[in-house]
Structure 1
């Protein structure tokens, strides 16, 4: 930081106090991965009733894109590069949860060889499958199905869809 001496403990204490008081956002990340037929990869979490998009929560000070890549490695043994941001949502506090930011990245199309290596390597995932977007609407929770529809539209148009949601 320009003009800020490393040896000024009072100034650093002031800045640290300001940092402590600022909001901390929960960050969720999902990815849209397709097969060559255009079907979407979905996962069946053991801790939720409905199927979901692959992804999870970012860890402290972890960039969202890196969180998405880590979650795919941990859950499905899949090494991907999270591509373009498709959607970004702010979700207001609800139930026991503070507000959060939800990032959805495009992770492209998997080859048949890459699909053959997929496996549920985390106990949080009981199953996975590729589903047609129409079937996804039936299997996913309604808000996640709507998020997927928006993400697919953003992928097709080249735009990023940002929304703020009230529960």
Structure 2
């Protein structure tokens, strides 16, 4: 079988990455996209030629104006097809640390309406359930030093 035929038959997934960023009080940084109702992570799809780590760093710079070290992997999340997305999503969440007091957030207004730091309980109210699950897994993974796989 020719390689192009073989690869055309394989299952496809969409890779995405986000940064787990907290403030000094342990609250997580979330953003409000202008193209959907619920809040989410600062992050996005992995572009051609990027690794998930590179995508995480780029998205943090683009969306909230932060240049942070992309730290260790916290969570890998397999998210099945949903809504208009025809392929599963493989989401990589990286620990991007704690922002020092006074760090400046510069919102990308083309895609985002707002940003904020939220406790886990507050985030549960504004995130879709599958992203809230990722938040709790990220908190636990940061505390334990382990990597978590969600499906």
Instruction: Verify same fold: TM over 0.5.
Output: yes
Asked if 1 retains the 8 angstrom alpha-carbon contact of 2:66 and 2:105, the reply is yes
Unaligned 5+ segments in structure 1 are 1-13
Q: Distance in 2 between matches of 1:18 and 1:77?
A: 41
**CA 139–96 in structure 1, closer or farther in 2 if over 3 Å, else same:** closer
Q: Distance in 2 between matches of 1:47 and 1:95?
A: 14
Unaligned 5+ segments in structure 2 are none
3-state secondary structure, aligned to 2:92: strand
> Whose helix fraction is larger, Structure 1's or Structure 2's?
1
Out of 106, 129, 132, the residue aligned to residue 119 of structure 1 is: 106
Out of 21, 46, 53, the residue aligned to residue 41 of structure 2 is: 53
3-state secondary structure, aligned to 2:114: strand
TM-score (norm 1): 0.81
Q: Look at both structures and tell me which one has the larger radius of gyration over its CA atoms.
A: 1
Out of 75, 94, 105, the residue aligned to residue 94 of structure 2 is: 105
Structure 1's consecutive aligned runs of 4 or more residues displaced over 3 angstroms after TM superposition are: 14-24
Aligned residues: 150
TM-superposed deviation, 1:21: 4.1
**CA 48–95 in structure 1, closer or farther in 2 if over 3 Å, else same:** closer
Q: Distance in 1 between matches of 2:22 and 2:84?
A: 33
TM-score (norm 2): 0.89
